[in-house]
Amino acid sequence: MPELRSGVRQSRLKSRKVEDLDVQDPAENLPVAAPTVAGRRGRGRGGRGGGRGRGRAGGRGRGVPVIDLDPDQPFEVLPGAGVGGGAVGGPQRIEEFADKAVKMDGVSPDKIGGGEDDASPVPEKVQVGHSPQYKVERKLGKGGFGQVYVGRRVSGGTERTGPDAYEVALKFEHRNSKGCNYGPPYEWQVYSSLNGCYGIPWVHYKGRQGDYYVLVMDILGPSLWDVWNSLGQTMTPSMVACIAVEAISILEKLHAKGFVHGDVKPENFLLGQPGSPDEKKLFLIDLGLASRWKETSSGQHVDYDQRPDIFRGTIRYASVHAHLGRTGSRRDDLESLAYTLIFLLRGRLPWQGYQGENKSFLVCKKKMSISPDLMCCYCAPPFKLFLETVTNMKFDEEPNYPKLISLFDELIEPQHLRPIRIDGALKAGQKRGRGSHEEDEQPRKKVRLGSPANQWISVYNAKRPMKQRYHYNVAEARLHQHIEKGNEDGLFISSVASSANLWALIMDAGTGFTSQVYELSPIFLHKDWIMEQWENNYYISAIAGATNGSSLVVMSKGTPYTQQSYKVSESFPFKWINKKWKEGFHVTSMTTANLVAAVLLCMCR
């Protein structure tokens, strides 16, 4: 076992980081850095020329300055948490939006945290439920969802762990924190369901004292981040392989209880207390972002959903699905574990160094674009196989945990040389037999190859078909001819799309439109033309963008719309959409061109 720095640590401990001191991105992880402002005052760019209808809403937006000394703190962004415009990016960022009747001013989103220390001091002594009385001593750490202190028993206590331990970890969460709006933290429910689960620390007592909800837990040792740092910010492949198989085993037991962790990373894996029988045993802590993948009543997998305005986790290690706001499932914990293992091996992940409020978007793009070959070019083959497997899993797929464990067999050393105990992995292998990554399986399409994929996405409506006509792979020069012919036959354009700078359109006899105009412009959503048509009582009814940056905008009379607003941005403008929803608008169309996206919202009668 490598020599670790003295002291003990426990759940929700957040290390004082000195990682990534790289001259290429010196601002990211300095232990004492110049403050990064996560919310700042700014004016979004509105559509020129105004528009008709209601007057301007809002004026200059206001953000709340948030000092962020730890860019990798876990956090949760919920709908409505911020106000106003879209995300803020770097110098090449493109953001433009225009309204008919309402002109928007944007503000930057705020990062959401929790567990404020300065709300009120923690009590000097704690006694909750039927627990003994503990004296609150040194602070172990603070995270996004609480603070952790050492608690020393005032009298009695002879054990190192368990309810009779003389020293415990006390986790405090203030009653006014975000997670306690409706009573005790949700984490309490998770611990109640998991107490005794393999690899999860025991919670012995819980209750409220004064302004704080308090958990009394077993105290643990250093985190994997601490170990990695104490070893010169590197680990051997054999050590990381031990971590891999034991972490997979812990996640298997957690998943079997119906939960996903939601924040797998080096800081949340702790070893047992130094000098104790568990000093080489791995534990998974911090269930503040845990969620159910399985319905309690039916036992069925939860339904798939996607909310781009919601992010839960830690940006560096979060799965791509978490970045995209998809419902969490078992695959997400395993993808985060893959990033954790590669970080421990290589000391760095390719997306470290991004800064600013658009960081999550940039990190997500990088994760989606980089191939497993490049990610694992200096790693042993099992790590690449693991990454490929978990990043290509389906939403409701049951992981083959024994097979994943077996990937690392060749790297596991004899028992007396293992720096980490792998009891859980060994039991899994004995109970069900190891799978083989060479066993015959149905070939599966790989989702992430390191390059963007182009594809059509079709949305079907269950209504009876009307008289329709479609055209596809239409060059710009022939577009007018097809549209004119359709108009002569009583058809109007209902939908348009583009691929490889060719166009596709649906013409329909049942749109209810009375008149229609369109523009094929080299400018993406030509604002002046759109504003002019708005003045003539036309409303946008279909939009599409091409790879070369051009766009096709169709505007019609006879729509149900009374107001419209659109926005062009490099990132998905979920903050802006949230604000428009509150004003009564709803999304009717979205399109992209080159590196930018546009979202159209409308208000109906």
- Catalytic residues, by residue number, are 263
Choose among 118, 119, 126, 172: nearest CA to 145. 172
Any binding-site annotation on 17?
no
What is the rounded CA–CA span in Å between residue 567 and residue 599? 5
Euclidean distance between CA atoms 570 and 348, whole angstroms: 27
Residues 6 or more apart whose Cβ sits within 8 Å of residue 405:
245, 248, 249, 425, 428, 429, 434
Within a 10 A sphere around the Cβ of 34, how many other Cβ atoms?
8
Rounded to an integer, what distance in angstroms lies between the CA atom of residue 348 and that of residue 439?
32
Phi, then psi, of 502 in degrees rounded to 5: -110, 160
Q: Torsions phi, psi of 373, nearest 5?
A: -60, -45
Q: Which of 176, 211, 171 is nearest to 188 (CA)?
A: 171
Angle at CA of residue 553, ends 549 and 559, nearest 5°: 155
Q: How many CB atoms lie within 10 A of CB 540?
A: 22
Question: Tell me, what DSSP letter sits at residue 117?
Answer: G
For residue 304, give the nearest of 332, 264, 337, 336 by alpha carbon: 332
Q: Which tokens go with 209?
A: 């004292």
CA dist 166 and 157 (Å) reads 4
Q: Which amino acid is at 59?
A: G
Rounded to 5°, angle at Cα 374 from 370 and 379: 130
Residues 6+ apart with CB under 8 A from 442: none
- 248 to 194, 269, 339: CA distances (angstroms): 17, 12, 13
Q: Which helix (H) or strand (E) holds 587?
A: strand 586-593
Tokens 């232990």 correspond to: 31
> Contacts for 191-194 with beta carbons within 8 Å, 24 or more apart?
191/215, 191/287, 193/257, 193/258, 193/259, 194/254, 194/257, 194/259, 194/287
Question: Which H/E stretch holds residue 562?
Answer: strand 561-569
Q: Could you give phi then psi for residue 499, rounded to 5 degrees? A: -150, 130
Take residue 273 and report the two structure tokens written for it. Answer: 């207390």
- 576-577-582-587 Cα dihedral, nearest 10 degrees: 150
Tokens of 501: 């700078």
Residue 223 tokens read as: 């985190």
User: HSE of 462 in the Cβ direction (CA atoms, 13 Å)?
Assistant: 0
List, as residue ranges, the binding site.
171
List, as residue ranges, the binding site for ATP.
171
